[in-house]
A and B are shown apart, each in its own frame.
Chain A
């Protein structure tokens, strides 16, 4: 009896939601980026959301940055020729260094396939764990092997 009542309450709730969606589709314009005048960062991006979220990292000075009269600040100077993230201090988010990330490569995929076969094989044959481990070591070295011809330990490249 109690669960039947509960089911009906859930049903009415879903129905209300569907009616609301249908009514919004039939009449009224598209909502803006921040229809509720909310103060927090998730409302600061465009609507619909671009897949990079923010073209520049925002800088904030309070818990309610969108209510701040000065508007959002921004971070500039991150290298846009390759993938790079900003590393900051833990509590104050003070920028400390830029951390370049690797670009697209086939090595991690090959490594994932090899790891799968190594582990699956080791269920049936113990030596597959050894063979898989060796193959993974080779792939890891291939992945890590420096492609760029720089040597920071040579005197001519030291700044």
Chain B
């Protein structure tokens, strides 16, 4: 054992961009909470579906799956640019960070437009029946997260352009990217449950 019992930490870094930063873990826990809500919604959706002979209920149309699938592809394509942009923050390389973030924002905006058209076209409201409640809750929750993180990323674009990127902004950027991965990831099961599952599930 060392006999010198004084530890000097003055030389330790004040910047940590990975999972050791408390804010990174905070974002992860927020994702666990929100992910649990979505898992519960999906589980109760499938349980409720099993009690119906026809799903969606006869007064509603079967979901159109082509347009939402295009939206999902846009969403999936938007993840690599923000990962690449995060690399640019770490290096640090402003051009890389800017280009990645811009590409991510364009794809996110395209996804949000596609999602908006989907929501406008729904021929039922959340008060119509239990099917309507599920569809609006799942899509609404996901859209809310997508809008929130797109706003956050837009703010980072402004900060990057204003050349005000300090240590906290770098950490915030990494956390913002983590949040977007979450939006992309939960988009997959939500797309399946809302648009594909009603087409393939049979009452038994």
Which listed residue (A72, A137, A146) contacts B164, Cβ 8 A? A146
Q: Are B7 and A152 in touch, CB under 8 angstroms? A: no
Which chain A positions have C-beta within 8 A of B14? 84, 97-100
Minimal beta-carbon separation of A94 from chain B (angstroms): 10
Minimal beta-carbon separation of A138 from chain B (angstroms): 10
Residues facing B in A40-66 (CB within 8 A) are 59, 61
Q: Are B12 and A154 in touch, CB under 8 angstroms? A: no
Which listed residue (B8, B13, B166) contacts A152, Cβ 8 A? B166
Whole-angstrom CA separation of A98 from B15 in the bound complex: 8
Q: Are B9 and A75 in touch, CB under 8 angstroms? A: yes
Whole-angstrom CA separation of A154 from B95 in the bound complex: 11
- Verify if B163 is at the interface (C-beta below 8 Å from A): yes
Residues facing B in A101-159 (CB within 8 A) are 137, 141, 144-146, 148-154, 158
Whole-angstrom CA separation of A74 from B159 in the bound complex: 39
Whole-angstrom CA separation of A61 from B20 in the bound complex: 24
Whole-angstrom CA separation of A152 from B169 in the bound complex: 10
Q: Are B92 and A158 in touch, CB under 8 angstroms? A: yes
Q: Are B6 and A70 in touch, CB under 8 angstroms? A: no
The residue in chain B whose Cβ has the minimal distance to the Cβ of A70 is B5
- Total number of B residues with any Cβ neighbor in A under 8 Å: 36
- Verify if A96 is at the interface (C-beta below 8 Å from B): yes
The residue in chain A whose Cβ has the minimal distance to the Cβ of B13 is A97
Which chain B positions have C-beta within 8 A of A151? 163-166
- Verify if A18 is at the interface (C-beta below 8 Å from B): no
Whole-angstrom CA separation of A96 from B15 in the bound complex: 10
Encode contact with A along B98-139: 1 for CB under 8 Å, 0 otherwise. 000000000000000000000000000000000000000000
Task: Using A73-B5, A76-B6, A77-B8 as known contacts, say yes or no to A150 and B166 having CB atoms under 8 A apart.
Answer: yes
- Verify if A86 is at the interface (C-beta below 8 Å from B): yes
Which chain B positions have C-beta within 8 A of A148? 164, 166
Q: Are A152 and B6 in touch, CB under 8 angstroms? A: no
- Beyond known contacts A74-B6, A137-B151, A153-B160: 7 more, CB 8 A cutoff: A70-B5, A74-B7, A76-B8, A86-B12, A95-B12, A97-B15, A158-B92
- Report, nearest first, the 10 A-B pairs whose CB atoms are least far apart: A73-B5, A77-B10, A146-B164, A151-B163, A153-B94, A77-B9, A77-B8, A97-B16, A153-B92, A150-B166
The 21 listed contacts between A and B (C-beta, < 8 Å) are A59-B6, A72-B5, A73-B5, A73-B7, A74-B7, A75-B7, A86-B9, A86-B12, A87-B22, A95-B12, A96-B20, A98-B9, A98-B13, A137-B148, A146-B164, A146-B169, A148-B164, A151-B163, A151-B164, A153-B94, A153-B97
